[in-house]
Copies of this chain bind each other. A is one copy, B any other.
């Protein structure tokens, strides 16, 4: 069960209005790796965890905090929209600065949300749950999590140089730090799990399910230089040596049977 405090986890006070930047910050709320994604991803992973209560708590603790990050960013966006000339189309037609603002802002901030944040990305595409990962295999999912925190910190870093506003930068410095923590925690948890069960997910596949002659071979295209990569000369992370193979088909030319009449497909031999 959840509880809420009206205080923010950290400050969200821009110095000045900036509706174009408000549109861009939406990426951190409702983008593929925005805070809606990490919050929902960690919570669904937690709710589905079976028999590993400390890890479940780790997921629930972190997911709960990410809810608070959506809140901070939604507050930031609402404030970036305060006092800006977002309804002044008429001025926009004459003043190119105002025109660029109105052209560059998210029109839904004015028309749909009345100067509030939107649960969408920086192009106005609604967040959807197809972004998130919850497989029941924690090693797999922690890899999803370290990726999410890497992409997230990368996006905040890019936005950091796109503004001069010290209030925004202050808040971003907090988000950058928390993404550092979260990368650290998922990486450490992954190392802990890999030490116990090995690096290949899922670790429970019996050897006879795997065509092991294909498990460590690199297949380059003719003009590819990738087979010269240093790491291919060392043992693979699971301990076996990598090899380089010949890239060629082994499955023959498939020919499908004609469809039954009820399918009303093209009749066979139509073009022979």
B114 and A137 within 8 A (CB): yes
A176-211 contacts to B (CB < 8 Å): 176-178, 180-181, 183-185, 187-189, 191-193, 196-197, 199-202, 204-205, 209-211
B211 and A173 within 8 A (CB): yes
B135 and A119 within 8 A (CB): no
**Which residues of B have CB within 8 Å of A160?**
205, 209
Known interface pairs A32-B130, A114-B154; 14 further A-B residue pairs with C-beta atoms within 8 A, sorted by A's residue number? A1-B4, A4-B224, A12-B254, A44-B119, A48-B114, A55-B270, A75-B254, A89-B164, A114-B263, A126-B130, A136-B259, A140-B150, A177-B210, A184-B200
Chain B residue at smallest Cβ distance from A247: B3
Closest 10 interchain pairs by CB? Answer: A103-B104, A114-B136, A48-B116, A51-B268, A123-B124, A8-B251, A7-B249, A99-B100, A119-B129, A96-B96
Chain B proximity of A83: nearest CB distance (Å)? 8
A225 interface neighbour in B47, B53, B242, B265, Cβ under 8 Å? B53
**Which residues of B have CB within 8 Å of A236?**
184-185, 187-188
B99 and A104 within 8 A (CB): yes
Chain B residue at smallest Cβ distance from A30: B129
Chain B proximity of A201: nearest CB distance (Å)? 4
A68-127 contacts to B (CB < 8 Å): 68, 70-72, 74-75, 78-79, 82-83, 87-90, 92-94, 96-97, 99-108, 110-127
Expressed in whole angstroms, the Cα–Cα distance for A213 and B178 within the complex equals 10
A96 interface neighbour in B65, B97, B124, Cβ under 8 Å? B97
B220 and A61 within 8 A (CB): yes
Chain B proximity of A167: nearest CB distance (Å)? 12
**Which residues of B have CB within 8 Å of A120?**
123, 129
A48 and B78 within 8 A (CB): yes
26 A-B pairs whose Cβ atoms sit less than 8 Å apart in the complex: A1-B9, A1-B251, A2-B5, A4-B61, A6-B224, A7-B253, A10-B250, A24-B107, A27-B111, A27-B112, A44-B119, A52-B268, A54-B226, A64-B221, A67-B67, A87-B260, A96-B96, A100-B102, A110-B162, A113-B134, A116-B135, A125-B125, A131-B131, A138-B265, A138-B266, A184-B238
**Which residues of B have CB within 8 Å of A65?**
1-2, 219, 247
Chain B proximity of A140: nearest CB distance (Å)? 4
Chain B residue at smallest Cβ distance from A40: B119
